[in-house]
Chains A and B, each alone.
Chain A
Amino acid sequence: MKILTLVRQVPDAEARVKINAQNVDLEGATLVIDGMDEYGVEEALRLREGGANVEEIVALAVGPKRVEDALRTALAMGVDRAIHVETDQALDPVALSRVVAQVAQSEGAGLILVGGQEADWDSQALGAATAERLGWPQLTWTNELAVEGDTLTGRHDVDDGNESFRAPLPAVVTTQQGLNEPRYPTLPNIMKAKKKELRKEDLGQYGAQPLVRVVNSEIQTRARLNRMIDGKDPQAAAEQLLDLLRNEAKVLA
């Protein structure tokens, strides 16, 4: 089986987000591989190391030139090769799923791993949309995964708790915290990664037109009261806080 693992590049969670002319401006921001996707890369490696029949692990990224860095990280972690569909065009997740599905098909992938929610779009749509295009089942919010032959088993979070599941391959799995602890690329592996194949492709052939347009972005900060209460006398502080919650904020009876 071939595993396709999708990698996105997003601003570091601690980075300050700037807006310029109604768009998010990433100029100067620290960009990293999306943590949610990193769980997917790690899981692909662990499935192979755990003895599952994994022929090859391929990382895919779609985006501008800089996205290469995220792919280099995946290569240094241990994936075999990478595909970069290079474009400056912004795609929405449903449009991007068109690219992922076609690459999965041309690569003959049997399992696609995608982060459960991207740290820039705050979207959970990519995995499900990709699965639908391929006619595959999907497992979202996975926190345990095993492959045996053509069967996928594991556990994932659902609305009211979590479920164990069994599903046939091929399938799309979305990954999240708790699934594993992603490894750090070691220096020798970073060096080795430089020699691994990173194939460039053109977006044009995939017919992925976004259907959703971003018309504005703004940072809305809620004005907070920032009222500090002296905590030296716990009793007095507690009573003052309760009084404010009851009589000023009116959030407690």
Chain B
Amino acid sequence: MILIVAEHAGGKLAKSTLEMVSAARESGREGPVTVLVLGQGTADVANDAAKYADQVLVADLPQLATYNAEVWAAATAQIAQEGEASTVVIGGSRSGREYAPRVAVKLDAPYLEDVIRLSANGNALQAQRYTYLARVTETVEAEAPVIVVTVKPGSFAPAAPAAAAGEQYDVELDLPAPRVEVTGKSVEKSSRVALTEADVIVTGGRGVGSPENFATYVEGLADRIGAGVGATRAVVDAGWRPYAEQVGQTGKTVQPKAYVALGVSGAVQHLSGMGKSKYIIAINKDAEAPIFKVADYGIVGDVNQIVPALIEAAGKSQ
């Protein structure tokens, strides 16, 4: 079987799970598309997953109420072994890329990380992935009875439902006790669309001028056009914005339809997090800013003057 570990949050199946189903279907690997749901109170998630998969394995257990890398790795490896999985597909989220290597070691399997494309090459599995701060696209290949893959979010089209809903089965697991204790948690609260799921993102850099300007111009424009809000590392380091909004090598990787960069110079580390956006729009005072080299539309001008005009014009014609 091709084993997909479902990603879900707040009782809902995440879009990334449907992307993993597409990746599984495209991989040409052997066996039924099987979704494993790990969690507690997961009935809705499992029902939803069944629409897309040949079968759904459900582990609805109190020990799975919160994510833990060692527990998730143990559960996944156990099911992969029992079901003689040919392929294990895990989300390319922070958590997915944290426990997937453990699964690969447990199964003594090759690990294809954060892939954007999958295809069969004879008995081997080929994948494309970005390397060198996303400047290089590498094709890698592995051949083994079982291969572990993580799928980069936003790289595959979400799967359409299958003709018939898959069967659901409860599974039993022998789980280790978690050793990492969570002693506190702060959740990113935002009324805006999540950065990794947003179609449009407005990002502000140092060139915006101040935290107040950031709120007025970057958030103002984002709210007017229904976009997510991003920030550069410089802005996060300066304490203007929370780390949660950071886009780039050490922040989030995003691939929206439109990426609007306001006062962003375009350092390589930032480009590695947004360079695959469909359209890049840049507004910057400095005509020499590297961001203009990768921009589809660019305005050389002061953010403080152009953006209010943009906000007004966007409001007028709506």
Contacts and interface: CB of A to CB of B under 8 A. Distances in A.
Interface of A: 11, 13-14, 17, 19, 24, 36, 92-94, 97, 116-117, 119-126, 128-129, 131-133, 137-141, 143, 153, 157-168, 176-178, 211-220, 222, 224-232, 234-235, 237-239, 241-242, 244-245, 249, 251-252
A161 B244 contact: yes
10 contacts: A122-B272, A123-B113, A131-B102, A217-B131, A217-B138, A219-B137, A226-B295, A228-B299, A229-B297, A234-B301
Of A97, A212, A224, most B-chain CB atoms within 10 Å? A212
Given A129-B105, A241-B310, A252 B258 contact: yes
A183 B87 CA distance: 44
Contacts of B267: 13
Interface residues of B, number: 90
Contacts of A123: 113-114
10 A-B pairs closest in CB distance: A231-B301, A211-B110, A238-B309, A164-B184, A251-B258, A128-B101, A129-B101, A125-B101, A216-B139, A132-B102
Nearest to B182: A163
A232 B309 CA distance: 12
Of B130, B272, B279, most A-chain CB atoms within 10 Å? B279
A231 B306 contact: yes
Contacts of B272: 122
Contact of B268 (A13, A133, A140, A218): A13
Interface of B: 9, 67, 69-70, 73, 93-95, 97-102, 104-106, 109-114, 126, 129-142, 144, 179-188, 199-200, 225, 233, 243-244, 249-250, 257-258, 267-269, 272, 275-276, 278-281, 283, 292-302, 305-306, 308-310, 312-314, 317
A217 B138 CA distance: 4
Contacts of A13: 133, 249, 267-269
Contacts of A166: 180-181, 183
B182 to A, nearest CB: 5
B131 to A, nearest CB: 5
A211 B138 contact: no
A170 B113 CA distance: 26
Given A226-B295, A251-B200, A167 B139 contact: no
Nearest to B285: A231
B222 to A, nearest CB: 12
Given A213-B141, A228-B292, A242-B317, A176 B104 contact: no
Contacts of A124: 97-98, 101, 113
B134 A132 contact: no
B299 A237 contact: yes
B245 to A, nearest CB: 12
Contacts of A234: 301, 305-306, 308-309
Contacts of A17: 132, 135-136
A140 B278 contact: no
A238 B313 contact: yes
A137 to B, nearest CB: 4
A177 B2 CA distance: 36
A224 B257 contact: no
B284 to A, nearest CB: 9
B68 to A, nearest CB: 9
Contact of B131 (A122, A133, A228, A245): A122
Contact of B137 (A119, A217, A226, A249): A217
